[in-house]
Amino acid sequence: MDVLTPRAIKTMKAIVFAEHGPSSVLRYMDVPMPQPRAGEALVAVRAVAVNHGPDIETRRKGFGMGRVQVPHIGGVDPAGEVVAVAPDVTDYAPGDRVAVYPVIACGVCDFCRAGAPENYCRDSRLFGVQTAGGRAEYLTVPVTQLVRLPAEVSFEAAAALGVAYTTTYHGIVERGRLRDGETLLVMGAGGGCGAAAVQLGDLLGARVLAVTGAEWKQRRLPGIGADAVFSYRDDDWVEQVLEATGGRGVDAAFDNAGAATLASSLACLGRAGRLICSGGTTGLDVRLNIRDLYRNLNSLLFYVQGAKADMEALVAMVADGRLQPVIDAVYPLEEAARADDHLDAQEQFGRVLLRVDGA
């Protein structure tokens, strides 16, 4: 299929940073209009999520995934509409509603050759970190990264799924194997991944014990599936959790907060309980008592991102009404700095999005 009208557009608006630093380095500016190369589609962006690591940390100092080329356009979780495709693309066409699955697998490492999920790739790249991303009116992306969106799934809901929900789904469903009737502890339950964990735990039939800080977040958590809520600002919150489980401890703990809470989450685990972790927003270095862990037969389940199949499963859950992603705030694209600061201040409950109106 030919690239049609987009060729006539020479520039587009995007959020760009030319140096690492605070949100003030972000610029809303004209940049050259991209054109799809072989195997790619041109997508008009309608919504894109804001993420702490891939967006804020990448902008601030880099995200530990290789050098970021600047000037850089971030945004790992866009959703929108295909407007053109490269001549060799036959399975997508203008008008198709899509979201971008962000993990770009190399296709040649031993895990890729064995058919492992994309997030197991030894040399993966992250869309919007190692590539130009979705904080723009248009983007180009390999069609292998596209996830089709039914009409029932809004662009905002699809963008909200991206990194947070897909990563959380992989941890709780694929790695943690959470089962009906088990007890799940969720740290940072008011954040993007935390809210997703509460919702998914509830959908799987688990008893969900949610831990957060602000009182207003505590009040909202029962409405998305939490059976009991605790404040990490209470010095005895671990004892409160253990009391709520009759002293047995929880079957699984989901904790992406890292250094500040990981040891406490482990203290909440019951016998043969498992910790599920794919992040460390409060720090990466943790001291563990190995003897306590092996004597309690605990499992530590670390992982990175989620698979494309996880994102497709989540889209299906939204389409049939089982899941509605929690969206805290939606900012226009040009206010990306405000959106970053809002998320960075931990003022959100659920996901923060950017809306793109000009595409």
DSSP string, 144-212: GGEEE--TTS-HHHHHHIIIIIHHHHIIIIIIS---TT-EEEEETTTSHHHHHHHHHHHHTT-EEEEEE
Given this model, what pLDDT does residue 45 score?
Answer: 98
Given this model, what pLDDT does residue 3 score?
Answer: 43
The sign of the torsion formed by the CA atoms of 109, 110, 111, 114 equals positive
Instruction: Enter the CATH code of domain 5-148+326-355.
Output: 3.90.180.10
Residue 344: other Cβ atoms inside 10 A: 18
Given this model, what pLDDT does residue 317 score?
Answer: 97
Residue 294: which residues within 8 A CB-CB, separation 6 or more?
none
Instruction: Enter the CATH code of domain 168-302.
Output: 3.40.50.720
pTM assigned to the model: 0.93
Q: Whose structure tokens read 């209470």?
A: 234
Q: How far apart are CA 288 and CA 244, in angstroms?
A: 24
What does the chain come to in residues?
359
Given this model, what pLDDT does residue 237 score?
Answer: 95
Q: What is the pLDDT of residues 276-296, one digit of tens each?
A: 999 887 788 888 899 999 999
**Pairing status of strand 250-254 against strand 183-187:** parallel
| Of the candidates 50, 36, 8, 4, the residue with the CA atom closest to the CA atom of residue 332 | 50
Cα dist. 15→2, 127, 133, 185 in Å? 28, 15, 10, 37
Q: Whose structure tokens read 């694929």?
A: 174
For the chain, residues with pLDDT lower than 70 are 1-8, 64-66, 358-359
Q: Provide the 3-class DSSP secondary structure of residue 316.
A: helix
- Outline which parts of the chain fall under CATH 3.90.180.10: 5-148+326-355
**Pairing status of strand 146-148 against strand 97-100:** antiparallel
Given this model, what pLDDT does residue 358 score?
Answer: 64
- Write the DSSP assignment of 242-277 as a string of letters: HHHTTTS-EEEEE--S-TTTHHHHHHTEEEEEEEEE
Indicate the burial class of 135 (C-beta count within 10 angstroms; 0-12, 13-18, 19 or more).
buried
Asked if 69 contacts 97 with a C-beta cutoff of 8 angstroms, the reply is no
- Outline which parts of the chain fall under CATH 3.40.50.720: 168-302
